[in-house]
Amino acid sequence: MKEINFTSSFLSYDSFEELPTDIQELMNQAVEIRKKAYAPYSQFKVGAALLLDNGKIVLGSNQENAAYPSGLCAERVAIFHAGSVYPEAKILKIAISAASDTNQTKAPIPPCGSCRQSIAEYEIKQDTPIEIYFMGEIGAIYRSASLKNLLPFMFDKKFL
């Protein structure tokens, strides 16, 4: 038996103002689209803004459904929209903002497991890392240079 270790590396920005200007703008769009989320059941709203290599920004917010789990997370709404409208474009960066209607989210909220797998599919497809920035409502913002930091054992087509 042997132990296997993985190391993940993230940057932590203590405040919104520390972010590079282009990321501030992308995160502002994630915050604004988050406010339009349809989350009557969880009261937990998420917004995602994707920057594509063609300069387009694609937005998504979580969409819940009484027939759980028929809804979709913000990240997947944005990624699937980008994949259908701009199939040849690469996703360069994703900004994610999450907030609860019942309590203030103070810690960075990362993508859920399903969203991590969806981001992994596009990162592998485009053979280019996707920068991921995520935050709560207030507080620190984390940056991952690649989805591999969040999902070191990625499942992909080579296993099929």
17 is catalytic: no
Nearest Cα residue to 139 out of 106, 109, 110, 111: 106
Catalytic residue among 17, 32, 64, 75: 75
Residue type, 149: N
Report, as residue numbers or ranges, the catalytic residues. Answer: 75
